[in-house]
Structure 1
Amino acid sequence: MAATAQSIILHQYDISPFSEKVRVALGIKGLDWFACDEPVIMPKPELLALTGGYRKIPVMQIGADIYCDTQIILRELERRFPAPTLFPGPGKGLEWGIAMWTDRVFFQAAVAIIFGGSTPLADEAFIKDREKLTGRPFDIAGMKAAAPMMAEQFRAQLGWLEEQLADGRRFLPGNEPGLADASAFYNLAFVRWTSPAGAKLIDGFPGVTAWEKRVAGIGHGQRSEISRDAALDIAKAATSTEAAKADPGEPNGLKPGDAVTVMADDYGRDPIAGELVSSSAQHIALKRSDPRVGEVVVHFPRAGFLVLKS
């Protein structure tokens, strides 16, 4: 099957935990998609041609629309493919809050356990790359020192999952899987891939391990492969489907046509400049161009990102 301008292309790599979050969501929805494998570390010239500077993984591409960060990726998948929903329970807004917890607090505990463990996982090139990404030292010695305390934090948060599952529900929202499951599961998967000591912590919670198996059994939908060059060719031949739309509630008066810069507020704060196309409380879309891909529209969430008028 050949990819088209309507195909879901996920720029990812297989050991990326945040890519696993999206892959589980694709499985929940039973979608066909194309994996475009990107390098783990810089340089990533093809990815940056699409995004204008955003280098974190994953990035979703549909034609000439480029979605940066799992929050906006999952929001767009839900908009385009509403059934099966990622929100089978009653708490749609709270599930986004749960996703922010798993992406920051839960994830940081997992990272400390993984890289502070006894098995070396980061070579010099990886360490230098992540130092550039975060803007601070990638302190392996510090993580080793913190690992015992972060194991306690990770275990406490596993306990929250165990309590949520204690009434016999199959998944975190209820009997059907959703965003909360994809969001919590990827941290456990990351630990399983890389940390035997962390895996033992997970194994101490029988409800969590049973749930973990159910989520893993969902799969990742129907995956095909696509090369980076082929993905860029699709973007160049396509036209964005994002319509210009003003948001009267914009706190700082941003409107279509404004020159703006967007950057993450935590790490990977590379600024992406473009012309505002549309915005809302939950998204912002910028038009930009690159010789390799032509004109594209790059989409970001608002929570976790800063927008500056140029």
Structure 2
Amino acid sequence: MTGIILHQYDSSPFSEKVRVCLGIKGLEWQACDQPVIMPKPDLTPLTGGYRRIPVLQIGADIYCDSALIVREIDRRFPQPSLFPTGNRGVANAFEIWGDKVLFQSAVLAIFGTLGDDVDPAFIKDREALSGQPFNVAAMKALAPFALTQIKAQAALLAEQLADGQAFLEGEKPGLADAAAYYNFWFIRTFCAGLVDRLPDVAGLDGWYDRVAAIGHGVRSNLQPADALTIAKAAMPDMVDCLPGEAQMLGTNVMLAAADYGRDPIIGTFAGSTPYSLSVLRDDPELGKIGVHVPRLGYSIAAV
């Protein structure tokens, strides 16, 4: 099987979520570091324009968004499972909460605390990504409120651990832990001292340390040019298609995120599952590339 390539950068919170999942499984993988801000000339040829990080590459198949990436990793490498109790609903709920509610509070707390130290180039890039102002002054005003919300969310996590279990679903770590952990890692990485320790939230710090100790599996580094060479030498896998969408196969469609980073991915519709949508692109330099996005949070439209 072709190796795992994760297009990422080390300070990316959503990349940390994926890295912890790779650690849970003890997998070997290659980190292909991409720029924090645009342009990303060695990433967008693979994705067809999608610019968010992380992106998973396996041969000529490209998986966008951490929500799909972790599930594709679990599908290809099922043991140990990212759903240790078999209750996927619990992990799904933790992930949506971590990616939306807790992440937004973390962003406010971090950038409100950094304030005028935020790089203007980063601000400009994130305004282009989100389509709205990156208002540092407003974030500074909201940072104290965001911190109260983070501590309240931490207390909810502690309730899940109150019976003494090691991880959020029991004695084995899973996606739920990675999805909750990366936000606290994000805050502690960028704003040391803000919520480094929460002694008044019993059990949270021990859980955080246990997740941190999992590590990231076996990492090596790969140059972006080499990742492009790997994609050019491979062919995308065949994918399934839901019966109700089979009539769309081969038609030109556009996929795009519904929240932010809405750069369209245009290709021929190649397949679908209840959780994903796939297109086939024909890149002039790389040849055929399969690009896959989650169904949840992404739109599909005819071109």
TM-score w.r.t. structure 1 length? 0.94
* Equivalent position of 2:220 in the other structure: 224
> SS state of the match for residue 6, structure 1?
coil
1:71 correspondence with 2:67: yes
> SS state of the match for residue 18, structure 2?
helix
1:296 correspondence with 2:292: no
Residue-by-residue CA offset, 1:269-289 (whole Å, 9 max, x unaligned): 111111111102200111002
* Equivalent position of 2:97 in the other structure: 101
1:188 correspondence with 2:184: yes
* Equivalent position of 1:247 in the other structure: 242
- How many matched pairs? 303
Aligned partner letter, 2:157: L
Q: Residues 43-82 of structure 1: matches in 2 within 5 Å? A: 43-82=39-78
Distance in 2 between residues matched to 1:164 and 1:117, nearest whole Å: 29
Offset, 1:242: 2.5
1:275 correspondence with 2:278: no
- Unpaired stretches in structure 2, ≥5 consecutive residues: none
Q: Is the 8 A contact 1:261 1:308 kept in 2?
A: yes
1:260 correspondence with 2:256: no
Distance in 2 between residues matched to 1:6 and 1:28, nearest whole Å: 20
Q: Residues 99-248 of structure 1: matches in 2 within 5 Å? A: 99-118=95-114, 120-200=116-196, 202-243=198-239, 245-248=240-243
Distance in 2 between residues matched to 1:153 and 1:308, nearest whole Å: 37
TM-score w.r.t. structure 2 length? 0.96
Residue-by-residue CA offset, 1:34-65 (whole Å, 9 max, x unaligned): 00000000000110000001000000000000
Residue-by-residue CA offset, 1:168-204 (whole Å, 9 max, x unaligned): 0000010000000010010010000011353246454
Aligned partner letter, 2:140: K
Q: Is the 8 A contact 1:31 1:221 kept in 2?
A: yes
Aligned partner letter, 1:72: L
Aligned partner letter, 1:75: R
Identity %: 52
- Unpaired stretches in structure 1, ≥5 consecutive residues: none
Distance in 1 between residues matched to 2:225 and 2:35, nearest whole Å: 14
Q: Is the 8 A contact 1:34 1:226 kept in 2?
A: yes
Tell me which stretches of 4 or more aligned residues in structure 1 moved more than 3 Å.
Answer: 118-121, 200-204
> SS state of the match for residue 286, structure 1?
strand
Distance 1:137-1:13 versus aligned 2 partners, 3 A rule: same
Selected match of 1:84 from 42, 66, 80: 80
Distance 1:201-1:222 versus aligned 2 partners, 3 A rule: closer
